[in-house]
Amino acid sequence: MDKKLLGLFFLLALQSFGQTQLLKGKIVVDSLQGAAINIVNLDKGIGTVNDEMGYFELKVSIGDHLYFSSVQFEAYEKEVKEADLKKEEVKIVLLPKVNELEEVTISNIKLTGNLDKDILSVKPKPFLQATDLGLPQSKKKPLTQAQRRLYTARSSNGLVPLDLVINMISGRLKRLKKMRELEILDQKVYQGEHAFDSLFFTKELKIPEELITDFVYYCTDDVHYSKLLSRDKKLNLLEFFQEKAAHYITIKKKELGAGYEEMIKEK
C-alpha cells in the first residue's frame, strides 16, 4: 500500500477514537408540539430523541456526525466541533417540510361573466410528454437526497479510485447508508401515521395527539409493521395498531406518570 495512503488511513482511524463527551442541545423550530426528532450519532451507532421542550443529550466525540430526522421537518446533518462541546447547549434549527404545489399561471384573458361566451375564449394548452418530443420517457422514480448522496459516494464520478477508498476509510459510506435507512424509516412512519384519521389514534386507541408519531415509531420495531403498509392490508394494520396500543400506553404511563393522564384529559 502506498505510504501516503497508509498514513491517511491511520490519521483518519485516530480521529475516530476521540474522547467521548456528553453533548447537550435543543431543537429549535417554529412549533415543536411534542414532535419526536430522531437524533442519531452516525459514527457511534447510538441515538436519542428530544423531550417535549426540545432538549436532548447524546454521547459524542469531536468529528462525529449527528443526523436529525423526523416526518415533520427536513433532515439535517451536523459534524461535532470542539466549540460545540464547550457550549452549555447547542441549538439545532430545523425547517418544516414543505409540500411543493404546482405552479399556477394567471391568465390575461378578460372574462365577461357569461359562461357560454367565456368558455369559448379559453383555449386549453395541450399537455406535452417526453415522448411527444421524441425523447425517451423514464419510468424510474427520482432519487431522494440520501439516495443521491449514497450514489455519489459510491461512484467515481470521473474521479480517481482513491476517492472511493477514502470514502470507505473515513466512514462516509457507512454514514450515508445509515442516513438512507433513517429516511426509509421516516417514510414508513409517515405512511402509518396517515393511514387513519387522528381521531382513530386519540379516541379509539386513547393515545394523545402529540404522541401519535412516537407511537408509530414504536410500532416500526415490529418486523410485521412494514408488511402491513399496503392498501389491501389496511384492516390488518388497524388491528395491529390496536394490539400495540395497550403495551405502548403501559410504557408511557411508567415514563410520564400522571403526566400521561393529563395529556389525555386535555383532549
Domain boundaries, the chain: 18-93, 145-184, 195-266
CA–CA distance, 235 with 94 (Å, rounded to integer): 35
Residue with cell 461512484: 155
Q: What is the pLDDT of residue 18?
A: 63
Please check whether residue 35 is in contact with residue 73, taking contact to mean a CB–CB distance below 8 angstroms. yes
The span from the CA of 177 to the CA of 147, in Å, is 9
User: Which residue, among 215, 266, 267, has the nearest Cα to 240 in the 3D structure?
Assistant: 215
What per-residue confidence (pLDDT) applies to 158? 46
- Per-residue pLDDT band for 201 (boundaries 50, 70, 90) equals very high
Summarised one tens digit per residue, pLDDT across range 210-267 is 889 889 999 999 999 999 998 889 899 999 999 999 999 999 888 888 777 777 766 5
Q: Which amino acid is at 219?
A: C
| Fold of domain 18-93 | Immunoglobulin-like (2.60.40)
Q: Tens digit of pLDDT for each residue in 85-99?
A: 999 999 999 988 875
Question: Mean pLDDT over all residues of the chain?
Answer: 76
Question: Residue 61: pLDDT band by 50, 70, 90 thresholds?
Answer: very high
Range with top average pLDDT, 15-19, 75-79, 172-176:
75-79
Statement: residue 3 has pLDDT above 60? no
Report the share of the chain in percent with pLDDT over 90.
27
* Axis-axis angle for helices 212-219, 172-193 (nearest 10): 120
C-alpha cell at 1: 500500500
pLDDT single digits (tens) 141-181: 555 555 555 555 555 554 445 555 555 556 666 777 778 88
Whole-model pTM: value is 0.47
pLDDT > 70: what percent of the chain? 64
